[in-house]
Structure 1
């Protein structure tokens, strides 16, 4: 996970991709919360 975040930060040009990844991670956390 941390490696992905570092790669995202290093690639500032891909801000949209970074936001999408963050949204996907948040969605995963929400799903886990609902499942639990």
Structure 2
């Protein structure tokens, strides 16, 4: 799985939520591109 280049240091305070939302966004974008 490829990740968008993003400074992790900025995401640290919201690391858990960011990872979850990122995974959901990746799946959503993948479905969009697949269709």
Normalised TM-score (structure 1): 0.53
SS class of match (2:20): helix
Say whether 1:15 aligns with 2:23. Answer: no
Q: Which has the higher helix share?
A: 1
Q: How does 1:1-36 map to 2 (within 5 A)?
A: 1-2=2-3, 4=5, 7=8, 11=12, 14-34=15-35
Normalised TM-score (structure 2): 0.54
Q: Which runs of 5+ in 1 are unaligned?
A: none
Ranges of 4+ aligned residues in structure 1 off by more than 4 Å: none
